[in-house]
């Protein structure tokens, strides 16, 4: 087992709000692609979600220290899904922000502390294998996706505190939001409206069409509900702990044009739950994802993470696909964090939530729906900032070229009113030449060592007074 001591550089960044400073990169962390976790498996993919342990962020001299819990997804799956057990990876963090031009990484240190393995409500291990069946609702839990080995299938993507050391996790197979206690045992689940549940031939079918290694099948796309691998990528809880926000990565099947899904998957749904008691859906809004141009074609920047600032403002990380180190092209065309403001948006809760309900027939948002307001907050591809730490977006396609997937956010006060440190983490997809998972060694077909990076930005966020 390799000791996982990780050096990070946190970078300060400020949104360009009136009276505020522009985002500034203050540090960067790098975790080796072939690092090993406390379970003897490859320590990768943990940038899929990030959560500051409540109460752990503290100023120390001119810097900060904290503990973070970071969330891997379903495990290495570029050659098919694997029997990877869900877990949270925990790190101690020490940050010494650098506002100069260091030209190197290392201002932040992450010290690996270990893994918390997650179980179902019965204490049985979970799996990352593609679901092939449904476990009927029982013990207060809804129908759950299960793999061929009978274990509950999870593709975890987002994490937030739930009180008493517990936490919420948003995942993609369901798509569901699961609640866990401090020991990692599942204690509840939020099943979204029927419009989100993947249906094939009139039946619930939670497959993402990613067979296990050595198995072949083609279940295609769902007829309605979430698209394959486009579930609850973004989930967050308001700072007061009373409201949970969750959003699908890109449009539901009935909210796009099946003849051109990639170009028409823009209209997603943001669900708002009151979690002061038993979770209760109280609001639902339409969000129109950003678009960009790629060789004369319009692309949709699917969202990869969401973070609540208060009860009506959220950060949304949106990006293209296939751009970055070890990808089909060296340059990302769109990788930004947007600011959402729910004020003024049409509340559509209960109006289009049945199985075939559509807010955007053939990908066109209904005329009577006003979407959530969106404004630019931070450009992660800003080479003027990246170059200060030896990073870049675009050629050369080397280990300093940002990898495609940036999928986790955490926010903490920076010491001055309205100023914060925003941590942004990448998901390296467990890509390494020297991997080990579920009892087997592997070498990813990318033939590259894709390290996990975490950037720290100093940002300004004004108090709106609402």
Q: How far apart are CA 166 and CA 447, in angstroms?
A: 38
Indicate the helix (H) or strand (E) that contains 47.
none
Instruction: Tell me what the mean pLDDT of segment 386-415 comes to.
Output: 97
What percent of the chain shows pLDDT beyond 90? 93
| Predicted local confidence at residue 434, as pLDDT | 98
pLDDT one-digit tens code per residue, 222-246: 999 999 999 999 999 999 999 999 9
Which residues, including other chains, have CB under 8 Å from residue 314's CB and lie 6 or more apart? 236, 245, 306, 307, 308, 339, 340, 342
Query: Is 414 inside any structural domain?
Result: yes
β strands within 384-433, DSSP E: 406-413, 419-426
Q: How far apart are CA 330 and CA 310, in angstroms?
A: 36
Look at residue 15 and give its three-state secondary structure: coil
Indicate the helix (H) or strand (E) that contains 262.
helix 261-264
Q: How far apart are CA 151 and CA 124, in angstroms?
A: 7
**pLDDT value at 133 more than 90:** yes
Q: How far apart are CA 235 and CA 430, in angstroms?
A: 22
Give the Cα-Cα-Cα angle 237, 193, 321 (nearest 5 degrees). 65
Of residues 144 and 108, more confidence is placed in: 144
Look at residue 345 and give its three-state secondary structure: coil
Query: Is 117 inside any structural domain?
Result: yes
The total of structural domains in the chain comes to: 1
Strands 297-300 and 243-247: unpaired
| Predicted local confidence at residue 465, as pLDDT | 54
Is-contact 301 286, C-beta < 8 A? Answer: no
| Predicted local confidence at residue 5, as pLDDT | 31
Residue from 111, 94, 108, 93 nearest 11 by CA = 108
Query: Is 114 inside any structural domain?
Result: yes
pTM of the model: 0.95
Q: How far apart are CA 91 and CA 47, in angstroms?
A: 12
Look up residue 233 and give its DSSP letter: -
pLDDT one-digit tens code per residue, 422-451: 999 999 999 999 999 999 999 999 999 999
First vs last C-alpha separation in the chain: 50
Instruction: Name which of 138-142, 251-255, 459-463 the model is least confident about.
Output: 459-463
| Predicted local confidence at residue 16, as pLDDT | 46
Tokens of 460: 């300004």
Look at residue 27 and give its three-state secondary structure: strand
**pLDDT value at 3 more than 80:** no
Is-contact 275 267, C-beta < 8 A? Answer: no
pLDDT one-digit tens code per residue, 154-167: 999 999 999 999 99
Query: Is 73 inside any structural domain?
Result: yes
Q: How far apart are CA 157 and CA 215, in angstroms?
A: 25
| Predicted local confidence at residue 287, as pLDDT | 99
Domain boundaries, position 54: 5-460
What secondary structure does DSSP assign to 154-196, as a single string? --EEEEEEEETTEEEEEESSS--EEEE-TTSBEEEEE---GGG
Q: How far apart are CA 75 and CA 462, in angstroms?
A: 38
Q: What's the whole-number average pLDDT of the chain?
A: 94
> Phi first, then psi: what are they for 387, rounded to 5°?
-60, -25
Is-contact 317 303, C-beta < 8 A? Answer: yes
Instruction: Tell me what the mean pLDDT of segment 377-389 comes to.
Output: 98
Look at residue 362 and give its three-state secondary structure: helix
pLDDT one-digit tens code per residue, 295-305: 999 999 999 99
Instruction: Tell me what the mean pLDDT of segment 40-53 comes to.
Output: 98
**pLDDT value at 15 more than 60:** no
Q: How far apart are CA 118 and CA 326, in angstroms?
A: 31
Instruction: Tell me what the mean pLDDT of segment 39-65 comes to.
Output: 97
Print the SS3 string covering 125-157: ECECCCCCEEECCECCECCEEECCCCCEECCEE
b/e map of 220-231 (b: 16 or more CB within 10 Å)?
A: eebbbbbbbbbb
pLDDT one-digit tens code per residue, 70-80: 999 999 999 99
Q: How far apart are CA 237 and CA 259, in angstroms?
A: 36
Tokens of 459: 């940002």
Query: Is 466 inside any structural domain?
Result: no
Is-contact 190 204, C-beta < 8 A? Answer: no
Query: Is 105 inside any structural domain?
Result: yes
pLDDT one-digit tens code per residue, 356-365: 899 999 999 9
Query: Is 454 inside any structural domain?
Result: yes
Of the pLDDT bands very low, low, confident and very high (cuts 50, 70, 90), residue 463 is confident
Is-contact 219 166, C-beta < 8 A? Answer: no
Of residues 185 and 17, more confidence is placed in: 185
Query: Is 465 inside any structural domain?
Result: no
Instruction: Tell me what the mean pLDDT of segment 140-145 comes to.
Output: 98
């Amino acid at each position: 087992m390799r000791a996982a001591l990780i050096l990070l550089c946190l970078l300060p960044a400020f949104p360009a709000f009136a009276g505020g400073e522009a985002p500034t990169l203050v540090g960067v962390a790098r975790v080796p692609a072939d690092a090993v976790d406390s379970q003897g498996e490859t320590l990768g993919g943990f940038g899929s979600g990030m959560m500051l342990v409540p109460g752990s962020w503290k100023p120390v001299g001119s810097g900060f220290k904290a503990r973070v819990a970071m969330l891997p997804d379903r495990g290495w799956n570029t050659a098919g899904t694997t029997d990877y057990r869900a877990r949270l990876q925990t790190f101690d963090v020490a940050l010494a922000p650098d506002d100069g031009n260091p030209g190197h990484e290392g201002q932040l240190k992450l010290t690996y502390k270990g893994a918390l393995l997650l179980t179902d409500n019965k204490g049985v291990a979970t799996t990352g294998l593609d679901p092939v069946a449904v476990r009927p609702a029982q013990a207060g839990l809804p129908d759950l996706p299960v793999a061929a080995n009978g274990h509950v299938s999870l593709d975890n993507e987002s994490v937030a505190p739930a009180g008493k050391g517990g936490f919420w996790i948003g995942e993609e197979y369901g798509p569901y939001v699961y609640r866990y206690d401090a020991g990692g045992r599942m204690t509840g689940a939020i099943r979204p409206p029927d419009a989100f549940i993947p249906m094939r031939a009139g039946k619930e079918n939670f497959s993402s069409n990613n067979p296990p290694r050595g198995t072949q099948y083609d279940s295609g796309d769902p007829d309605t509900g979430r698209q394959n691998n486009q579930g609850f990528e973004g989930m967050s809880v308001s700072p007061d702990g009373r409201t949970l926000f969750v959003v699908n990565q890109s449009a539901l099947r009935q909210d796009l044009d099946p003849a051109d899904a990639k170009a028409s998957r823009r209209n997603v749904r943001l669900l708002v739950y009151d979690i002061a008691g038993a979770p209760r859906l109280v609001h639902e809004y339409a969000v129109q994802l950003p678009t960009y141009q790629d060789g004369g074609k319009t692309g949709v920047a699917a969202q990869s993470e969401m973070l609540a600032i208060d009860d009506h403002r959220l950060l949304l990380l949106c990006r293209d696909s296939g751009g970055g180190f070890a990808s089909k092209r060296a340059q990302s065309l769109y990788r930004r964090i947007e600011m959402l403001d729910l004020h003024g948006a049409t509340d559509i809760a209960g109006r289009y939530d049945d199985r075939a309900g559509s807010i955007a027939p053939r990908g066109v948002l209904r005329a009577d729906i006003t979407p959530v307001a969106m404004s630019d907050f931070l450009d992660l591809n800003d080479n003027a900032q990246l170059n200060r730490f030896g990073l870049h977006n675009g050629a050369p396609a080397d280990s300093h070229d940002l990898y495609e997937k940036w999928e986790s956010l955490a926010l903490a006060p920076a010491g001055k009113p309205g100023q914060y440190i925003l941590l942004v983490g990448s998901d390296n997809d467990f890509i390494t030449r020297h991997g080990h998972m579920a009892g087997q060694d592997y070498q990813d077909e990318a033939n590259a060592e894709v390290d996990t990076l975490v950037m720290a930005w100093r940002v300004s966020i004004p108090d709106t007074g609402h």
